[in-house]
Amino acid sequence: RIAYVDGRYVRHANACVHIEDRGYQFADAVYEVWSVFNGRLADTQGHLDRLDRSLNELRIETPMTRPALLVVLYEVIRRNRIKDGMVYLQVSRGAAPRDHFFPAGVKPTLVITARSVDRKVAAAKAETGIKVITQPDIRWGRCDIKTVGLLPNVLAKQAAKDAGASDVLFVDSEGFITEGGSANAYIVDQAGVIRTRSLTANILAGITRAQLLKILGSTDIQVKEEAFSVAQALGAKEVFVTAATSLVMPIVDIDGHKIADGKPGPVATALRAAYIENAI
């Protein structure tokens, strides 16, 4: 495997950044994840737009122009011979002697990695659906910025794994679901209306979410960008999450309670197929 680190293509096994990189010391870094279908990045511009936004919000310098970045992204895909897979990109503020203040004259650190994904395994998972647990949303107030400060997500997702589930639904102090551990969350309510939380600083504006809403715009399925409670999710016809990694993933069990008949529903299943068809 080959990784891109600060201007060089290096063996993945030997790839490293400095011990005083601010991504490592302060989580002073942002990231993006793309899925790759047939050697092509899915939702390319959407992820690049969000990367720009995350960098702007944190006042981290853009590491290179968009055309240059696209060349590097595709070079990493090519060198790793990725047909179906994932690309991970991370930009930190750079390496400097540890000090909370922004360092002067430091260049951002850019790292890009890629790996293959077995779409058959993912498809099998989507056919069964996943179990999740709810967890209090203890994350910071700027979840709209895609930073590598993911400790609450890590702890929550590990708690899910320990409980025999594969993801979490974060719940705010009012009992409303914000999003998944690394995905946006939706329900299909008893009226057949899709509900997903509106975009605020409390959740990440998923690129898969944006694409899904676009797809839904050309169907007669009604969508409401409104928060839903845990109780509403438990009583829903369907629950699902979306992300560049899991695409559209049905949830069939929350905290040990089956959703409907405990099988993936028709809406999530159709939307998964529609998303993939669009991305290919």
> Rule CB under 6 A: which residues touch ligand PDD?
33, 179, 182-184, 204, 206-209, 242-245
d(C-alpha 144, C-alpha 201), whole Å: 5
Q: Closest separation between CB of residue 169 and ligand PDD, Å?
A: 11
Q: Which residues contact 137 (CB under 8 A, 6 or more apart)?
A: 152, 170, 171, 172, 178, 202
Closest CA relative to residue 260, chosen from 183, 186, 196, 190: 190
Q: List, in sequence order, every residue forming a beta bridge with 195; answer none if it has no partner.
A: 187, 224
Closest CA relative to residue 183, chosen from 240, 229, 129: 240
Q: Closest separation between CB of residue 80 and ligand PDD, Å?
A: 18
Please name the residue that has the structure tokens 């309510």: 189
Shorter beta-carbon distance to ligand PDD: residue 95 or 242: 242
Concerning whether 83 is annotated as a catalytic residue, the answer is no
Q: Closest separation between CB of residue 188 and ligand PDD, Å?
A: 19
Shorter beta-carbon distance to ligand PDD: residue 37 or 95: 37
Please name the residue that has the structure tokens 């994904």: 117
Shorter beta-carbon distance to ligand PDD: residue 29 or 207: 207
Catalytic residue among 131, 146, 157, 237: 146
Ramachandran area for residue 260 (φ above 0: left; ψ -120 to 50: alpha; else beta): left
Shorter beta-carbon distance to ligand PDD: residue 47 or 95: 47
Asked if 193 and 28 touch (Cβ cutoff 8 Å), the reply is no
Shorter beta-carbon distance to ligand PDD: residue 95 or 206: 206
Asked if 87 and 41 touch (Cβ cutoff 8 Å), the reply is yes
Closest CA relative to residue 149, chosen from 277, 41, 44, 29: 29
d(C-alpha 233, C-alpha 237), whole Å: 8
Q: Closest separation between CB of residue 241 and ligand PDD, Å?
A: 8
Q: List, in sequence order, every residue forming a beta bridge with 3; answer none if it has no partner.
A: 10
Structure tokens at 230: 């845990």
End-to-end CA distance of the chain: give it in Å, rounded. Answer: 24
Closest CA relative to residue 76, chosen from 127, 11, 120: 11
Shorter beta-carbon distance to ligand PDD: residue 207 or 236: 207
Q: List residues with catalytic annotation.
A: 146
